[in-house]
Amino acid sequence: MNPDRLSATTDGYMSEHNNGNSVLRSEEWFGPKDLEGFLHRSGLKAMGYGENEFKGKPVIGIANSWSELTHCNSHLRELAQHVKRGVAAAGGFALEFPTISLGEFFLAPTSMLLRNLMSMDVEEMIRAAPLDGVVLLAGCDKTTPAMMMGALSADVPAIVVTGGPQLKGNWRGQDLGSCTDCRRYWTELRAGRITQEEYDEMEAAIYRSPGYCMVMGTASSMGGIAETIGMSLPGGGSIPGADSRRKTHSEQAGRAIVELVNKGITPSDVVTPESIDNAIRFLLAVGGSTNAIIHLIAIAGRVGIDLPLSHFDDLSKTTPMILNLKPSGEYLMEDLFYAGGVEAILARISPLLNLDALTVTGKTLGENIADATVTNDRVIRTIENPLFSEGGIVALTGSLAPDGAVIKHTAASPELLTHTGRAVVFEDYHDLEARIDSDDLDVTVDDVLVLKNTGPIGGPGMPESGMLPLPKKLLQQGHRDMVRISDARMSGTSFGTVVLHVTPESAVGGPLSLVENGDLISLDTPNGRLDLLVDEAELERRRAAWKAPEPQYSRGYGAMYSEHVLQADGGCDFDFLRGKTPVKLRV
């Protein structure tokens, strides 16, 4: 931006804007009567916009992660039109722009490799473009945290609108939840309990509407977190994608963002230690995705807040899990919406929340949920009658995970939560695929499956490989769970006695890299411990012999990723992206 621009005539913009006493950032582009102002205005006119449509109005970006490579976000172009309606009705001027989009199903090796790239895309587009505020259209797993991270670092007024969850799947009269039931029936297929034809039928029956996975997986967790932390309007975390009220919600977000610009409320006014604690309470009360821990740490890091894993554990001890949704419970997101939605959950746990936290409605969280009621106690339990007396996630530390690991104990087998077993080690995912179903694999159900080299660097991108498949021969014996340990993540829709995010990861020489077949591993979930029962002298011998894997990238984004990505306890953000560089909102 040419500094001379600030002294150029702004042709009445200042007096016409609602605030009257300050100039919008967008006016640096569209106000001055000089060559640059001419070019900027003519660029809008080239798209058919008349001066009366934009002159003196707040310019609202609609950052859209619509993509045909992201089926969960395939309806976001339509929702963008409803956001535009709201922006126009409130006196703003909306311009939609694309961001990269991260779909869980199609991206290899994993969408998580690109989450930080998407956050950079969002941040830098906000910074570079003539925007006074932004509505962030997201949905599929990584798109919501990436949008939030980018908007927090740019720190212009921002509202998250997700595409909402899908309707329930249904196959032969049974409700199906993606992808909890894809995995459950895949296991049954491998065990020979259902036919390939039956499994094929489910393909069309499970995903039947726009939106994200309709269990309390990562996308649902992040949608609820966006609402709880105060960056979405009420209803944002639970209205189904196919429900007409999702369109109304989008229109309301369009109105609200103009108000937010007028009030000068930015994301860092909303995302504070208090609202982050609210988000953690929500995550724990709903038995949400372990991935959300990583995303929350990264989100907090963008506003300079350190969020140690132990803090999740501390809050977990006093947060009952009250939501009865798959994968930890029985119901699906559509049922949650009918039961009162995210607001009703928050109302139930309100004694645990910081109700004074500011939200994008311009009101407090307490004001937003003042009228919320629960209409189905089977879906949303009471604090006095929870599914579990503590939160859904336990942080572990110990000699196998000095910097932490996590287990979603509510989705695990209770009898395995305290277990000591013999390690059966796979060096990476290819090794796992090659040997897991081999008749020669020396394994019993009392063993502990260990997968190495699936962390942030080793994966690369920390893929969702953590729910290791059970060996076929154990499935055929009727077993459905055993202890599994890795430095990977797992899908929020997954389940089982699965220890994840072992940190430091094996690819950087963490203790996981030293585990050998036959070593004893002790999991003590009630006491938050994960230990490798091998004496220190032997470990030292193995450490001296250990060789780091060859780097997977020599250039490009992958090389930058490998050099700068933080471990899971740093939210897998890039070291240079933590913090914010706020965009100047007014001149």
Question: Which stretches of the chain bind ligand FES, using CB under 6 A?
Answer: 72, 104-105, 140-141, 212-213, 219
Shortest CB 213 distance to ligand FES, Å: 3
Helix axes 244-263, 76-89, angle to 10 degrees: 50
For ligand FES, the closer of residues 165 and 528 by Cβ is 165
Three-class SS state of 405: strand
For ligand FES, the closer of residues 86 and 163 by Cβ is 163
For ligand FES, the closer of residues 72 and 87 by Cβ is 72
Round to whole Å and give the CA distance between 488 and 499: 9
Shortest CB 217 distance to ligand FES, Å: 6
Shortest CB 493 distance to ligand FES, Å: 7
Three-class SS state of 60: strand
Alpha helices in 129-232 (DSSP H): 143-154, 180-190, 196-206, 218-229
For ligand FES, the closer of residues 213 and 323 by Cβ is 213
Shortest CB 327 distance to ligand FES, Å: 12
How many CB atoms are closer than 10 A to CB 65? Answer: 29
For ligand FES, the closer of residues 299 and 583 by Cβ is 299
Shortest CB 282 distance to ligand FES, Å: 18
For ligand FES, the closer of residues 159 and 206 by Cβ is 206
Shortest CB 394 distance to ligand FES, Å: 24
Q: What is the DSSP string of 415-481?
A: GGSEEEEEEEEESSHHHHHHHTT-TT----TTSEEEE-S-STTTTTS--S--SPPPPHHHHHTT---
Residues facing 565 on adjacent strands: 574
Closest CA to 570 of 313, 308, 192, 352: 308
Angle at CA 95, nearest 5°, toward 91 and 100?
Answer: 145
Three-class SS state of 146: helix
Three-class SS state of 158: strand
Shortest CB 269 distance to ligand FES, Å: 29
Round to whole Å and give the CA distance between 33 and 256: 31
Shortest CB 227 distance to ligand FES, Å: 16
Q: What is the token pair recorded at 323?
A: 């939501």
Burial (0-12, 13-18, 19+ Cβ within 10 Å), 97: middle
Shortest CB 218 distance to ligand FES, Å: 7
Q: What are the b/e assignments for 122-156, b being 16+ CB within 10 Å?
A: bbebbbebbbbbbbbbbbbbbbbbbbbbbbbbbbb
Shortest CB 103 distance to ligand FES, Å: 6
Shortest CB 104 distance to ligand FES, Å: 4
For ligand FES, the closer of residues 456 and 492 by Cβ is 492
For ligand FES, the closer of residues 72 and 512 by Cβ is 72
For ligand FES, the closer of residues 299 and 448 by Cβ is 299
For ligand FES, the closer of residues 38 and 105 by Cβ is 105
For ligand FES, the closer of residues 164 and 456 by Cβ is 164
Angle at CA 140, nearest 5°, toward 139 and 146?
Answer: 80
φ, ψ dihedrals at 428, nearest 5°: -165, -175
For ligand FES, the closer of residues 92 and 223 by Cβ is 223
φ, ψ dihedrals at 159, nearest 5°: -130, 135
Residues 274/473, Cβ–Cβ less than 8 Å: no
Shortest CB 82 distance to ligand FES, Å: 21
φ, ψ dihedrals at 46, nearest 5°: -65, -25
List CB contacts of 302: < 8 A, sequence separation 6 or more: 149, 152, 153, 271, 573, 577, 578, 579, 580
Three-class SS state of 63: strand
